[in-house]
Structure 1
Amino acid sequence: MQFKPYLMATSAVLAASLSGTALAQTRTGTTAAAATTIEELVVTAEKREQNLQDVPVAISAFTDKTRDVVGIQSIQDMTNFTPGLQYSTSTDRITLRGLGRLTNVLSADASVANYSDGVYETFAVRAGASTLFLDRVEVLRGPQGTLYGRNAIAGAINEVSKRPTKEWYAEARASYGNYDHSNLEFAVSGPLNDKVQFRLAGQWENQSEGYIKNTTPGRPSEGNVINTFYIEGQISVQFNDKLEMWSKINYNTWQNGAGGPGAQSGGWSPNIYSADPTHPNQVLPDISPGNPVGGNGFNIIEFPQFATAINEGFGCSGLATNVVLLSPSGCVNTAHNSPWLKPDPIPYRVRLPNAYTVASEWTYHAPGFDVKYITGGVHYYYVLTGSVPNGTRQAPVDSFTSGATQFFPLESFNYQEHNGFWSHELNLVSTSEGPLQWIAGFYYFKQHYTQPVLTEEDTRQTQFDISPPFGVCLSGAAPNLESVTCAPGIGRRFDNRPDVHDTSYATYGQLSYKVLPTLTLTGGLRYSHDRKDGTESVRLLCFGLPACLSGIPPEIFSAPLDLTGVNTVVAAGTGVGVDQIPFGVSGPTNFDPATGFASRHYDASWQAITGTAKAEWQPDPDTNLYASYSRGYRSGGFNIGIFTVLSFLPFSNKETVDAYEIGLKKNWSDNLQTNMAAYYYSYDNLQIPISVVQSGSVGGQPFAQSTTSFYNVPKSRSAGFELETLWQPIENLQLILNYSYNNTRIEHGMAEDLTDPGAVQPGSKPLHTIAQCTAGGAAVAGDCVADPNTLGLPNGGFQRVQDLSGNDLPNAPRNKVAVAANYTWRLNSGSITGNVSWSWRDKAYGEIFTRWYNEAPSWDQWDARALWKDTNDKYEVIAYIKNIFNKTGYDQGATSELLNGATSAVFAGKLPAGLTCSPVIAGGVINCVQGIRKTFYTTPPRTYGIEFRYKFF
């Protein structure tokens, strides 16, 4: 493993619970006699203020001072110093110890619950907010199924805001960096009277130049092109000795180019032909006639691609004279050699026209316990637009003739979220001294969202503009398609409109009892109930798609083929015969001929009893050895919206996990601290969105469309070890090392890999052999569907379901290492603190199939920064450089797809000039096997800048 030399070289450096101050506090809170004492860090992980070292939970906590010194400016930075944590910036998805969210369907809840000042949020992006706004971020690893019940099956992130002050305070910050990145911030706080304090703070952040150069003429750059504004107001009131209140309201808006969550969700596809980086032109030996190597595979050739283009394997052959292209690069993918080049005729744009957040906390101090009521919520409107990655339409070979219908492959998408949610939580927390401590509570959550997504065609593709009342669509059996009257067209091929309500409530309690002065036992239970109901309306047209009619000529029509009606690819669900209503759907699908939309209603509930049992042994004030069992739960959901149709498999069962953990938190001295944890998870019903071939019929002819469905992986596990240690060996020097090992594995399950539907790639584990598929019969019922990609190949001809056992869980790198060192020099004018950090993480896979085409390689990164403070702590200057050596990193595993779905190109007679493939000649027909596109998701390139801070008082 590549990290071993680095680990050995730094073996003397032990690190973990981060602290960025050069002068620290002792554990009693008094000023240290020497600057080598590690400060005490107070967290609220168990709903009460406690020393981090006294909490029997694996926690990584980041104070504002820590983040400033180490350079933790985003959640992505936080992942470097949090064992087991993985974050996808482009999709705002978090994975922790192998458990995470794998879709942005809002009906599918996050595995890691996010709480901002105690209020649950459905997104994580605010955890990376500036230190001017956040006092502390706590990452609780492991199921938090008792005190944190909003599906915190993997863990929870607590964001704690800076609060109003009793003394007057005001600060302004300004920074500037490369790519024309600027940031202005301010905060003012103080007393209005002896009982009331306030805080007002705001931020404007702008970057006009993106990391990625758009090679399409006249189009702007992409990659963190942002223009965001944020403002918040807080008030706290001490009514009397018994009652106090704190409230916050904030407003946020984005007018971004290609920047912010979602902006790079299309990823980076670097391939020109072969998608296998180790074999420039093939993956498996060529089995074409005359090849002496012979027959255990076939070439995988990726035809040259670029964004919003057709399959250029045909365009480059000189046959596609009727296809209108826009990219000046022709058949060459300009992103092939660099993730910082991209041909994008329609750049991504991220807008947040408005977002409002409210949080309020009321505390009543009763004798022996506190009553705390927390309420708040969010309402936001989010819009993401951009090019459909790599186009969607391909003109088939038999229509590549002069004068044929012209095709304009430029297609864009419009994705929106109208999301609003509100929660109420009532806590009763014991405060008396004594061996028994307890917490009890009730939680209620209500959400309503709409998540429409649609595609928009090039306005020159007038076939989608069906005019009422005599719109023309096609019906019948190929090749005898008939023109029929259909619903009015709306200039698009796809339109999906989900509208969902989510209601959740829970009640919980936890008791801790100190049975001996050194031994504490803890037990807790929680009952959770979730209900989700709503509607989904879809319209789907087909025109110039290679999958139309499963490749039956002609695939090019004079009018669109309307696939929205009953008994097509859209699940009818009439409840008759084999056409049963899918589970979770509360009635049959209704088709409205006036609008052309098919609609259905969803309604389902999930519930669970979860809890925890812990034992803590503290033989001295500096040692905490604990063992725990936790039961975690995540409700099921519906896979609707986001480029799905009315799926045959929309429902997912709840997830559960049984988690076992042992940990040691140890202060070896005043200057050395280590936290260690080892865990084992037994995980049931992991919710995975997977691509499936959804079959139907048009005019009696079979039809197949690739779509996504939810699949519950029956059994998987995650096991690992984590080390966090902090060492301050001499005055003003601090050393940090974090290491985590995470071994994940799917133990039971089966699914088809649509990137390799024939199950012929290395590592594939088909349930049936080719011989068994050929023989057919009851033994292969439900498997061995004909596969046109491998038809005629000795090891092909069938789509085969695979055994999932042995595959890794997605986005779970096996090893992670982070090292940091900071040293403070004392000057007459103040102090300078320098920091250098290095992080490395292992390869990761973005899908449940552990294959080369889903693998993102291991990577590392060096960062550095310097902080100067004057003697009066009024001025501060920070200079920084991130990714010093400008290396390419990957914030999640890679994804992949088989080009153009499940259709192969068929050429009569001979292979066209310029078209490279592995042909199999049978009966005068050449089947040209299509290729695999591999997509990466990269971290930013080298960035640097300077920040100025001034405290007025």
Structure 2
Amino acid sequence: MTFRHCLLASSGLLAAVVGTSAHAQSSSTNTIAELVVTAEKREQSLQDVPVAISAFTSEQRDIVGIQSIQDMTNFTPGLQYSTSTDRVSLRGLGRLTNVLSADASVANYADGVYETFAVRAGSSTLFLDRVEILRGPQGTLYGRNAIAGAINILSRRPTDSPYAEVRATYGNYNRSILEGAVSGPLNDKVKARLAVNWERQSKGYIKNTVPGMPSEGNVLDSFYAEAQIDVQFSEKLEMWSKFGFTNWRHGAGGPGSQSAGWSPEIFNLDGSRKALRSATNPNGADAFDITEFYSEATHFNPGFGCSGLATNVVLASPDGCRNVSYDSPWKINRPNTYNVRVPNAYTVASHWTYHADNFDIKYILGGVRYWYHLKGTTPGGSQDPGVLQYTVGAATTVYPQERFDYQERNGFISNELNIVSTTEGPFQWIAGAYYYHQHYRQPVHTIEDPRQAGWNISPPFGVCLDGAGVAATPVTCPAGIGRRFDNRPSVSNTSYAFYGQASYDLGDQLTLTGGLRYSHDRKYGTEKARLLCLGLPACLGGLAPEFALIPLDLTGVNTVVAAGSGTGIDVIPKGVDGPTTFDPTTGFATRKYDASWSAVTGTAKVEWHPDDDTLGYASYARGYRSGGFNIGIFTVLSFLPYSKEETVDAFELGLKKTFGRTLQTNVALYHYSYQNLQIPISVVQTGSLMGQTISQGTTSFYNTPKSRSQGVEVEVLWQPIRNLQIIANYSYIDAEITKGFAVDTVDPTAAQPGAKPIHTLAECQAGGAAVQGDCVLDEPTLGLPGGGFQRIQSLKGNDLPNAPRNKIAIAANYTWDFEPGSLTASVSYSWRDNAYGALFERWYNKSPTWDQVDARLLWKAKDDKFEIIGYVKNIFDKIGYDQGATGYRVDGQVTNLLYGANPAGLACSPVAQGAANPAAGSVGTIYCIQGIRKTYYNTPPRTYGLELRYKFF
């Protein structure tokens, strides 16, 4: 469907379908109640704000059943949220990495204070009064730049009269919630509020068939408490402050706990790589590939135990080498589990307001300090058969299981000063200044089986150095550190901005608005890393024995740990402050970073008010997101750590119209033009080690030169009769890359359907100037059809990640009034289109369409003291996908299949697991060659429960 045709279809939809964001329903009339928002730093009716906004009040969340951010995505056009990674996208632009030095595209504000995470927006309605989601660049009026939009979270405030309430919820999977709040005046000038929440779910959605292992999926145990104080010092000076404390003791629950996703594929059962190479490499070359150092098989490949080439195999699961997830996302046989901990998190927000004669001065101070700690199986751990140990050769015992330990120790503070005009008249203005400082440490390391002593001995092979740059000299490598991988970034971020916006009414119908902002960002810090290799064919280039338990230290190898682009350790990449240094005592390599970015952005708007019920607007906004560094997580002193700033030119037309106070319609049309869109992507580096050719894939922030997003959004609220409310929305996103080139490391030889290589295979085979910078040797596929060379592909026409083209949601609720109280029944339906989880628009990155039906009943006593809510979510227990799928090339080898007796003849045989599944990529010539897996990220199965509420006063 073309963009023009979609606009015509959407216009028809506006006349036939109803949908909008949340509003409170009046039970005594069918008149739509006014919703007041603070999207532009002053209180305004939602229908008078020339911005595309979806707002969710606590009352409407309770009626419709919007209990989480994922629920908000159903009723917010263009919004996408990944629950497992706490990443938000709006209109095709979002966060695709958890590297903290990369700013989020969608800014999160809790009571005006910027936060790096979005999870708080899904908090209980006992704590939140309203959530506002602003779509489009918000770079003029907000502290941090918000190139895609902003999520404003507004807390319930202390009350003028005494208030106390308790709530209790119990649901399936043994989920329970207890929470309560008290509020009211302490004297004629001071009000206070105290609230606490405890949530626990002991049984996960996902059953682990490994004996003794707990279930996974939303296994929670959390505590949160907050205290507020509101002081009216005088008629002109007032203060409000909030202090919060959070503690998580989750099992496999919360952000990060399901980051491995669900792979409905047969386990990776790789056998002897050397056997395949020798049989298929016509030149007999024994070059090797160390891509697996950055992929699923960085540790010993557990699948080797099921290859038929190992003996004395010990399996964790009674299911053997069969992946039980092949049948359902709600079953796993994983010998390791996830644990999510937040030992402590402290938040503070404080507003000080002075009411001058013609303007208000508001100072907003706030910050967060937290310690997040995640342990889990390494990225490919969910895709191995749970082999605990096996024997290779005569008597070499291998313990292949590996876990990771990831932490965020993050703290940030922000200061914002706003001056807002308060006089009546045609001219209104806002001016502000902002300062933000962040410091974080993000250490991550692997956890090996302590019985594998090789991780602790001194590596006899490798390049270990002493010093920096040309002064570095080879030395004996120090002893291993008991693990394969250890990275310790420590980074600071300082940002400041000045901004202003003014509006002028030209008579009764037209208003002009203009705004400018200057932003400056600086990021600086260090990264320390050490990388070892043990027991893989790559460690010794496939030399016998195939598994030699002798470590290889890769920390000083300039094709693995980089100070440049692969041509030498003394080539310093942009953003790197000085050469890489090496500590001969610890074996760690250290690199310093320092870079700055700045921009002038702004907005221009024209508003048209032909009558009190109509607002039309046209706007232009220039958005900016600072660059950053790709460091931490599972990177290793990346070859390309630096990313440029990202900008967007955003054009929008909007119409907000209310008909007779019973039908409210909002429509927005937009077109964005992006420059240097920051997207993490794997790139291939090549070099040599020990006289042999090696290549490795590493992740970098790729600045996609040009891309665009355009679409239409329709929201309408209808209350046709007393006590009946219908809400729904529709959005269409056409977001794609218009210029860019990269290697698809899932399909590096460009053999998959839809591949768009810039050089033919014949050109690569011929070599020469025509393929300079392309056609890197791909050793695992030498001699196979379409293989032998990694080829750069054009990205033009590929969809942006996590941007489903179409999304629809509709909900209806009806209230019956009785003498003792009222009963409200609500039902909602949502449907979502396909989405891609990566830049390449391929089958292995594509998630299916999906839909969901929810329902709930709310009983409210006449005196408003007692409430009962019963709910069922995902009534038909369907599988949903909260983001696009992702593909993986496992080991550069055959995935899902055992090698046959004749690898050169591609004799691949399915393992004993039942019928083959070509649709899932389990069998097929191309799939066999490339070894491609597909991973999904799922929404919860059917859940239900009962909630009781009681207000004492």
The TM-score with structure 2 as length reference comes to: 0.90
Is this contact kept in 1: 2:265–2:323, CA < 8 A?
A: yes
What stretches of structure 1 of length at least 5 have no aligned partner? 24-33, 276-287, 290-304, 478-482, 919-926
Q: Where does 1:647-658 land on structure 2 (aligned, <5 Å)?
A: 647-658=638-649
Return the alpha-carbon distance in structure 2 between the equivalents of residues 393 and 860 of structure 1: 30
Q: 1:144 aligns with which of 138, 144, 152?
A: 138
State the distance in 2 between where 1:582 and 1:935 align: 33
**1:151 CA displacement:** 2.7
Whole-Å Cα distance in 1 between the matches of residues 650 and 581 of structure 2?
Answer: 44
2:375 paired with 1:385: yes
The equivalent of 2:733 in structure 1 is 742
* Unmatched 5+ stretches in structure 2: 270-278, 281-294, 465-473, 911-926
Q: Which amino acid aligns with 2:819?
A: N
The 3 A distance-change label for structure 1 pair 502 and 476 is: closer
* 8 A Cα contact 1:324 1:407, kept in partner: no
Give me the whole-angstrom Cα distance separating, in 2, the residues matched to 1:529 and 1:653.
Answer: 13
1:19 corresponding residue in structure 2: 23
Instruction: Give 2:656's aligned amino acid.
Output: K
Q: Does 1:782 align with 2:773?
A: yes
Rounded Cα–Cα distance in structure 2 between residues aligned with 1:575 and 1:545: 23
Contact 2:758–2:792, Cα closer than 8 Å, also in 1: yes
| Distance across 2 between alignment mates of 1:403 and 1:554 | 10
Cα 1:646/1:175, change in 2 over 3 Å: same
Residue 577 of structure 2: aligned partner: 586
Distance 1:306 1:847 in 2: 17
Matched, 1:936 2:936: yes
Question: Using a 3 Å threshold, how does the CA distance of structure 1 residues 124 and 643 change in structure 2: closer, same or farther?
Answer: same
Residues 312/140 of structure 1: CA separation in 2 closer, same or farther (3 Å cut): same
Choose the corresponding residue for 2:81, options 87, 90, 95.
87
**1:335 paired to 2:325:** yes
**Which residue, 116, 124, 135 being the options, matches 2:118?**
124
Instruction: Write the mapping of 1:159-308 to structure 2, written as runs, cut at 5 A.
Output: 159-272=153-266
Distance 1:502 1:803 in 2: 34
Q: How big is each residue's C-alpha offset from its partner over 1:468-505, in whole Å with a ceiling of 9 and x where there is no partner?
A: xxx3432489xxxxx99421322100000000000000
Q: CA 1:832–1:577 in structure 2 vs 1: closer, same or farther (change >3 Å)? A: closer
Shift in alpha-carbon separation, 1:692–1:716, aligned structure 2, 3 A: same
Deviation at 1:41, TM superposition (A): 0.4
Q: Could you say what secondary structure the match of 1:79 adopts?
A: helix
TM superposition shift of 1:567: 2.8
For residues 266 and 597 of structure 2, what CA distance do their matches in structure 1 show?
Answer: 46
In the other structure, the counterpart of 2:744 is: 753
Higher mean C-alpha deviation, range 562-571 or range 768-777: 562-571
Give the superposition deviation at 1:142.
Answer: 0.3
Structure 2 distance, partners of 1:56, 1:376, is: 28
Q: Which has the higher helix share?
A: 2
Residue 587 and residue 307 in structure 1: after superposition, are their counterparts in 2 closer, same or farther (change >3 A)?
A: closer
CA-to-aligned-CA distance 1:76-109 (integer Å, 9 cap, x gap): 0000000000000000000000000000000001
Match of 2:461 among 456, 461, 474: 474
Partner Cα distance (2:776, 2:297) in 1: 31
Q: What amino acid does structure 1 have at the position aligned with 2:311? A: T
For 1:827-866, list aligned pairs within 5 A: 827-866=818-857
2:898 and 2:668 mapped to 1: Cα distance? 57
Answering whether residue 38 of structure 2 is matched by residue 47 of structure 1, we say no
User: Is the Cα contact below 8 Å between 2:535 and 2:550 reproduced in 1?
Assistant: no
Deviations 1:594-653 (Å, cap 9, x if unpaired)?
001000100000000000000000011100000000000000100001111011101100
> What are the within-5 Å matches in structure 2 for residues 655-694 of structure 1?
655-694=646-685
Indicate the residue corresponding to 1:285 in structure 2. none
Contact 1:847/1:854, CA 8 A, preserved across alignment = yes
SS at match of 2:354: strand
Q: Distance in 2 between matches of 1:705 and 1:151?
A: 35
Q: 1:797 deviation in Å?
A: 1.5
Distance 1:944 1:748 in 2: 47
| SS across alignment from 1:406 | strand
What secondary structure does 1:190 align onto? strand
1:914 is displaced (CA, Å) by 13
Partner of 1:407: 398
Q: By how many angstroms is 1:695 displaced? A: 3.1
Partner SS for 2:397: coil
Kept after mapping to 1: 8 A contact 2:529/2:637: yes
Report if the CA contact (8 A) 2:304-2:310 is conserved.
Answer: yes
Match of 1:601 in 2: 592
Instruction: Name the CA distance, whole Å, in 1 between partners of 2:588 and 2:856.
Output: 56
Q: Relative to structure 1, is the Cα distance of residues 553 and 604 closer, same or farther in structure 2, using a 3 angstrom cutoff?
A: farther
Q: Secondary structure of 2:396's match?
A: coil
Aligned 8 A contact 2:377 2:404 in 1: yes
**Which residue is 1:281 aligned to?**
none
Match for residue 821 of structure 1?
812
C-alpha contact 2:414 2:434 (8 A) present in aligned 1: yes
CA RMSD between the two structures: 3.0
Out of 692, 697, 722, the residue aligned to residue 713 of structure 2 is 722
Aligned match of 2:885: 894
Larger deviation, residues 429-438 vs 685-694: 685-694
TM-aligned CA distance change 1:499 to 1:667, over 3 Å: same
Cα distance change, pair 520–63 in 1 and its aligned pair in 2 (3 A): same
The equivalent of 1:376 in structure 2 is 366
Instruction: Give a deviation string over 1:878-930, Cα, whole Å, max 9, x none.
Output: 00000000000000000111011479999897459998269xxxxxxxx9735
Q: Deviations over 1:716-743 (max 9, x none)?
A: 0000000010000001000112000001
- Structure 1 equivalent of residue 489 of structure 2: 498
- Do the aligned residues in 2 keep the contact of 1:706 with 1:901 (CA within 8 Å)? no
Change (3 A) 1:320 1:274: closer
Taking the aligned partners of 2:670 and 2:221, their CA distance within structure 1 comes to 42
1:430-579 alignment, distance < 5 Å:
430-466=421-457, 471-475=458-462, 485-548=476-539, 551=542, 555-573=546-564, 579=570
Q: Give the secondary structure class of the aligned counterpart of 1:929.
A: helix
Q: Measure, in 1, the Cα distance between the counterparts of 2:577 and 2:429.
A: 42
Question: SS in structure 1 opposite 2:62?
Answer: helix
Q: What is the Cα deviation at residue 544 of structure 1?
A: 2.2
- Alpha-carbon distance, 1:64 to partner: 0.4
CA distance in 2, matches of 1:550, 1:661: 57
Which deviations, in whole Å up to 9, do the C-alpha atoms of 1:796-842 show, x marking residues without a partner? 22100100000000000000000000000011110000000000000
Partner of 2:284: none
Q: How far off is 1:7 after superposition?
A: 13
Question: Residue 931 of structure 1 aligns to which amino acid in structure 2?
Answer: G
Q: Does the 8 A contact of 1:370 with 1:431 survive in 2?
A: yes
Q: 1:512 to 1:861 in 2, by over 3 A?
A: same
Confirm whether residue 804 of structure 1 aligns to residue 795 of structure 2.
yes
Match of 2:55 among 61, 78, 82: 61
Whether the aligned pair in 2 keeps the contact of 1:183 and 1:206 (CA below 8 Å) is yes
Deviations 1:115-161 (A, max 9, x none): 00000000000000000000000000000011124130000000000
Partner of 2:351: 361
1:350 aligns to 2:340 (yes or no): yes
- What's the secondary structure of 2:256's corresponding residue? coil
Tell me which amino acid in the other structure corresponds to 1:257: G
Whether the 8 Å CA contact 2:563–2:569 is kept in 1: the answer is no
Alpha carbons of structure 1 residues 423 and 474: separation in structure 2 relative to 1, 3 Å = same
Instruction: Give a deviation string over 1:275-294, Cα, whole Å, max 9, x none.
Output: 9xxxxxxxxxxxx99xxxxx
Matches within 5 A, 1:94-109: 94-109=88-103
The alignment of Structure 1 onto Structure 2 pairs a total of residues equal to 896
* Partner deviation per Cα, 1:556-601 (whole Å, 9 max, x = no partner): 3242100001534111449996851011001100010100100010
Q: Distance in 2 between matches of 1:8 and 1:690?
A: 39
**Distance across 2 between alignment mates of 1:879 and 1:553:** 65
| Cα distance in 2, alignment partners of residues 839 and 599 from structure 1 | 49
**1:320 corresponds to which of 310, 317, 326:** 310
